[in-house]
Structure 1
Amino acid sequence: MKDIVALVTGGSRGVGRGIALALLSEGATVHVTGRTLNEADERRPGSLAGLQREAANLPGRLFIHRCDHGKDADTERVADEIRAGNRLDILVNNAWPGYENMEENGEFTWPRAFWEQPVWRWDAMIGTAVRAAFMMSRAVAPMMVSARRGLIVNISFWAAQAYNSNAIYGIAKAAADKMATDFAYDLRSHNVAAVALYPGLVRTEAVLANAEYFDMSNSESPQFIGHVIAGLWRDPVLMSKSGRVLVAAELAREYGIADVDGYRPVPLTLADFKQG
């Protein structure tokens, strides 16, 4: 991946951070956006500066961009900086403010019925996350079209297909899937692929902090899905997968990719998710 340039949105922590580290470990040049420059800026763990320190000894090159994707001007500024390099091979749309403030005034409001949901949650998941994926894709797609190669990955989840305690969450993930499908249609004649990609249970900072509430036996490291994205990029029949919803663990089996600890996560199906 030493000649590959990637952009990962929302990489201060969690899945985005893991994807960036995985691509860097494979030698790619990786641009990462995030709102949190230093951990002192927020009460949650994870920051762009921390990612920089963690990536210092990896073979790839890291470029960080402080960016609030709730502001189109910030998204456009980062796109301009990427365009200045005249190259982008992979875009991973991961920015996701939807899990913030799940508890309000001592009450866990996430599973409320849709008519009881706070409007800010719609603004975060739809107005910021879904819009940011569209706006960044719109900004960088011309580079991929011109080069006649590229891959856009929307990080999504099973909530797009099955109820997962929160209607707005399901709507946002369904939008991510549909966006990838329609992007793929527009991009196919230009040899650029677009997919929606589902992780399993990922050992993010937030999940590890609440590990007693999860069955971690089939969990994935944050880096796992990043190595799968690298495998997808190298797939000689990538275009045959364009427009599809893909499961990271299933692709990993196809490509012979194990997690960083050697474990090979079992792919979940829609039936498994409904049972969960």
Structure 2
Amino acid sequence: MLRNHQTIGEKTMKAFASDLDRTLIFSKKMLEQFPSQEPVELVERYEGKELSYISTKTKEHLLQLKNEVCFLPVTTRTTAQYRRIDLFQHEIKPEFAITANGAVILKNNHEVAEWSEKMRKDLTSLPSLQEVMQEAEALPIYDSVKKVRVVENYFFYYIVDPTIINHVDPQTLQAWGRARRWQVSWQGRKIYFIPEVINKWRAVQYLKEQLGWTAIVSAGDSYLDQPLVQNADRGIVPKHGELLNSQMQLSSTRCPGIKASIEITKQAIEGLLKKEVDLT
């Protein structure tokens, strides 16, 4: 049971829950798009390719947070993709992590069975993955799909030709999804189809209830991060984040790119470690 979690002092009472890609870690493309003189470190390789980097200062902030509160990575990546990030397997080893957009909770890198069982039960009331995948093939966008990826047998996404973005109404896709109780979210070249019971905040809230957290600072850049950013005591969006294009009033960093990650982790330290800072 998660309630057996024991830590000295107030560590279990506060958490920093953050998205990873384009929030804390960045691809070469992002580094080139938002150039900075900040020192960076490689944190992910795959099949011989260098994929993701983190600011040295951001890593220092995360180490400080990890030592005093619960640092909780929250990602849409599969568990295998999360484990590719060397930083979180060696230098910073979070006790808990959330993968597959909230469908999977890891404790000490092992899947929490009780949460996975809850997910499976919740999904029985919705159209199945196979049904939605089959129905989605009739959508107008399907002719532009280059690849189809299934995530942990919970949801799927399309990798599409980016030139079709201006020819498709996202609201029409979202309405199609709502009719099936599935979320449809367009993220660059990817279109995600995710059951509505799966979102990052539900998994964070489960941990909050199990572990007794009283304060959570969160961060995320994409529309899939909306529940996470909205429901935390303080939610932060990097200046480059597409989530800022929504109609919500959200707190943003001053700088885009990798500098945003430094601002985010600094604000998390101020909000969680300095008692005089009011999170409300």
- Regarding TM over 0.5, the answer is no
Structure number having the greater strand percentage:
2
Structure number with higher relative contact order (C-alpha < 8 Å, ≥ 6 residues apart):
2
When the two structures are superposed, what TM-score results if normalisation uses the length of structure 1? 0.42
Structure number having the greater helix percentage:
1
Based on CA coordinates, which of the two structures has the bigger radius of gyration?
2
